[in-house]
């Protein structure tokens, strides 16, 4: 089930989220719904506060090779992280960034190209994640949500963000995940016609 993503301005986005002691059936269901919501909004990450739950839970999904010049959304890596912490950051670069709580806006933020993060998993394990590129960026962004930090805080307010039209406005380009599904259908149709 898709959940409502809170828009910037909702005070719950500014609250610091509570740690999670362990996975419960309710938490598993929340994570599943967050994944569906993230995918439905064409995002690469979503934090529980963005759906009105102030718990330290994030979901992140990026292509298997997030450093590739052209991202391939047919093969992805999905992470469900409880109590994530970014402990090491290096090689800062300016990155283009948006937020599902602020659709239609982007900015450029100095983000670490490489991070080491630690988190708990739904099965009770503690893991270390060495991430780079888009995965590192997504983890940094989502962990900030858990502490009430939003992208406009990096640039001095919403007035300094850049207004954009999402690529799917007007039906010109579909969402990236849908686009891959469409390509597969078109390729299958072309192959059938060739036979």
Active site residues: 142
Contact present, 59 and 84 (Cβ < 8 Å): no
Question: How far apart (Å, rounded) are the C-alpha atoms in residues 80 and 57?
Answer: 7
> Is 121 within 8 Å of 31 (Cβ atoms)?
no
Query: What is the C-alpha R_g of the chain?
Result: 17
| Residue 181 to residue 177: CA distance in whole angstroms | 7
* Residues making up the chain, counted from first to last: 195
């Amino acid at each position: 089930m898709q959940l409502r993503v809170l828009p910037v301005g909702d005070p719950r986005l500014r609250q610091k989220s509570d740690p999670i002691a362990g996975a419960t059936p309710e938490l598993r269901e929340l994570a599943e719904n967050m994944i569906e919501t993230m995918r439905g909004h064409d995002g690469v990450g979503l934090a529980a506060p963005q759906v009105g739950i102030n718990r330290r839970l994030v979901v992140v999904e990026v292509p298997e090779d997030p450093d590739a010049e052209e991202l391939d959304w047919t093969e992805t890596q999905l992470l469900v992280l409880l109590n994530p912490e970014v402990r090491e950051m290096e090689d800062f670069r300016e990155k283009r960034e948006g937020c599902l709580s602020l659709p239609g806006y982007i900015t450029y933020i100095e983000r670490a190209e490489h991070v080491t993060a630690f988190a708990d998993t739904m099965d009770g394990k503690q893991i270390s994640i060495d991430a780079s590129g888009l995965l590192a960026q997504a983890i940094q962004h989502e962990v900030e949500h858990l502490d009430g930090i939003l992208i406009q805080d990096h640039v001095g307010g919403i007035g300094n963000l850049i207004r954009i039209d999402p690529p799917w406005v007007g039906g010109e380009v579909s969402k990236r995940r849908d686009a891959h599904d469409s390509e597969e259908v078109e390729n299958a149709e072309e192959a059938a016609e060739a036979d």
